[in-house]
């Protein structure tokens, strides 16, 4: 008998969708109209043994409480900040995520965003399309990357992959993260010091209450009018209102953002600025990474239902 699972979120890669249906009896909450969801959940709650969810949707305490037979939560993503561990841990419900398989693609996007901001690609694209080149409209030069300092906020798997790539551009790497484990690059004393010592600040740390507004107004000011903020982690790490204000007032040079506080809503002020590069949370959105993420999340569910060790259980309860 195939175990019954509740699937939260949508947009899985084709191979993943097929495998989900083959292995489980899937109940897709995203396919149910919002006002019909309470009744839908009530109808299946007693049979739902697993949840398959995206990194951004996660699972909250209210939903977990309505699933009395829940045994395991598999997150299709590396970030687990949207999972309410306090609601799951007392029930002994393990949570799994999908590290490693997305690292390269997320790091690639971080570099793409950094380059796009540094070389002002979106603005140049608009300039050419609008006939600015032919009209000989004035164009200021960009600034070179070589010799500039890239400050990595959160030197975990993704942060290290970003650092390795940026070294190839002749950038100097620094980082900050709480742990003082010896890593290959100089560690700044705080996020503020890192911003002061960097030309580019690349946010790679996990989201959650412990890292909320790590990049606040003071950090943004320390990065300064020549500085660029890149965020491929979570919108919650950055004080978005302070970011908008600093960009508007010229206290920050530029920003390149894949993540936002209230996705998919992006502050209109950010959309209006030429020195801001925007992406719709697509760090891991390649066919390869998303397929591998889905298959790994499924492998975790299958291992649980077979009574085997979970391949990628989240070890520590995040703060
Ligand atoms: C996706 C992510 O947005 O891995 C993460 O933490 O944010 C992304 O890869 C999402 O999890 C896809 O389901």
Q: Which atom of ligand 1 is nearest to the CA of 53?
A: 13
Would you call 281 a catalytic residue per the annotation? Answer: yes
- Residue 234 known to be catalytic: yes
- Would the CB of 54 count as within 6 Å of ligand 1? yes
Average the pLDDT over 106-131 and give the result: 98
Per-residue pLDDT tens over the stretch 206-247: 999 999 999 999 999 999 999 999 999 999 999 999 999 999
Of 64, 99, 68, give the one whose Cα is nearest residue 85: 64
Q: What is the mean pLDDT of residues 89-116?
A: 98
- What average pLDDT score do residues 110-122 get? 98
285 CA: nearest ligand 1 atom: 9
| In the predicted structure, residue 319 carries a pLDDT above the cut 50 | no
Q: How many helices (H) and strands (E) does the chain have?
A: 12, 11
CB of 148 sitting under 6 A from ligand 1: no
Residue 317: predicted pLDDT: 60
With bands split at pLDDT 50, 70 and 90, how would you rate the model's confidence at 124? very high
> For the structural domain made of 4-99+287-305, what CATH number should be given?
3.40.50.720
Residue 203 has what pLDDT? Answer: 98
What's residue 316's pLDDT? 59
What ligand 1 atom has the least distance to the C-alpha of 259? 7
Residue 302 to residue 298: CA distance in whole angstroms: 6
Residue ranges of the domains in the chain?
Answer: 4-99+287-305, 103-278
Q: Compute, in angstroms, the gap from residue 288 CA to the centroid of ligand 1.
A: 14
Look at residue 108 and tell me whether its pLDDT is greater than 90.
Answer: yes
Strands 276-278, 95-96: pairing is: unpaired
User: pLDDT category, 183, cuts 50, 70, 90?
Assistant: confident
Cα–Cα distance, 159 to 141 (Å, whole number): 29
Cα(32) to centroid(ligand 1), Å: 22
What pLDDT was estimated at residue 179? 86
Percent of the chain past pLDDT 70, that is, above it, reads: 99
Across residues 150-175, what is the average pLDDT?
A: 98
pLDDT in tens, 30-79: 999 999 999 999 999 999 999 999 999 999 999 999 999 999 999 999 99
- Would 4-99+287-305 and 103-278 be classified into the same CATH topology? yes
- CB of 103 closer than 6 angstroms to any ligand 1 atom: no
- CATH topology (fold) of 103-278: Rossmann fold (3.40.50)
CB of 78 within 6 A of ligand 1: the answer is: yes
- Confidence grade of residue 88 (pLDDT, cut at 50, 70, 90): very high
Residue of 12, 7, 4, 28 whose CA lies nearest to 305: 4
CA distances from 145 to 149, 173, 276 (A): 8, 12, 18
The DSSP result for 220-250, as a single string, is: HHHH-TT-EEEE-S-GGGB-HHHHHHHHHTT
pTM score, whole prediction: 0.96
């Amino acid at each position: 008998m195939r175990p019954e699972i509740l699937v939260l979120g949508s947009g899985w890669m084709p191979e993943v969708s097929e495998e989900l249906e083959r292995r489980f009896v899937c109940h897709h909450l995203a396919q149910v109209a919002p006002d019909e969801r309470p009744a839908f959940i009530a109808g299946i709650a007693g049979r739902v043994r697993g949840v398959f969810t995206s990194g951004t949707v996660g699972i909250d305490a209210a939903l977990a409480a309505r699933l009395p037979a829940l045994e395991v939560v598999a997150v299709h993503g590396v970030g687990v900040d949207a999972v309410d561990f306090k609601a799951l841990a007392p029930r002994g419900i393990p949570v799994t995520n999908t590290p490693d398989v997305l690292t390269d693609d997320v790091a690639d996007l971080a570099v793409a965003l950094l380059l796009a901001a540094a070389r002002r690609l979106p603005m140049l694209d608009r300039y050419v399309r609008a006939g600015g080149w032919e009209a000989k409209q004035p164009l200021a030069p960009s600034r070179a990357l070589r010799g500039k300092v890239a400050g990595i906020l959160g030197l975990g798997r993704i942060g290290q992959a970003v650092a390795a790539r940026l070294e190839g551009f002749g950038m100097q790497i620094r980082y900050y993260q709480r742990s003082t484990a010896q890593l290959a690059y100089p560690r700044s004393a705080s996020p503020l010091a890192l911003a002061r010592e960097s030309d580019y600040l690349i946010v790679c740390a996990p989201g959650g209450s412990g890292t909320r507004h790590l990049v606040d107004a003071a950090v943004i000011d320390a990065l300064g009018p020549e500085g660029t903020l890149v965020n491929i982690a979570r919108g919650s790490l950055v004080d978005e209102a302070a970011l908008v204000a600093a960009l508007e007032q010229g206290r920050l040079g530029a920003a390149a953002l894949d993540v936002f506080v209230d996705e998919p809503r992006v502050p209109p002020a950010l959309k209006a600025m030429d020195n801001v590069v925007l992406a719709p949370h697509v760090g891991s959105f390649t066919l390869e990474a998303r397929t591998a993420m889905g298959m790994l999340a499924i492998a975790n569910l299958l291992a649980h239902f077979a009574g085997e060790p979970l391949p990628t259980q989240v070890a520590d309860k995040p703060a």
